[in-house]
Structure 1
Amino acid sequence: MRNIGIALATAGGAIIAAPISMPAIVVTIATYMTVAGTVATAVSQAVVTDDENTETDENDDGL
């Protein structure tokens, strides 16, 4: 998921920054691609499980 998000953001950014003039619809789609890629990358980075710390503390005293 992270790699797909990075690819979308990169492709969208490259289209937006292209030195040639493009139709407005292409630039609009590239903008949406960049936003979607950025959000997908951020969400995939935030939702990472840590399998090493899945055990519960038996002596949990609430502190």
Structure 2
Amino acid sequence: MVAQRLAAEAQKPLELTEEERAAEADRQNELRRQEGISEGPPLPQPKPAVAASWAKAIAAVMAGER
């Protein structure tokens, strides 16, 4: 009986209070800030050839060639 109750409780996820959730979110954000990571998933990086093509096009527009 006791073993069944303990097993059932072990299956439940730990429930955090609103304050504990906020504190954990603050802690995670502080760790991200210290590591230089912005919130959210990382932005995809363009392939080098695409980045070079865009850089060339932007430079041409800024120089007034287009």
| TM-score range normalised by the length of the shorter chain | 0.3 to 0.5
Larger relative contact order (CA 8 Å, sep ≥ 6): 1
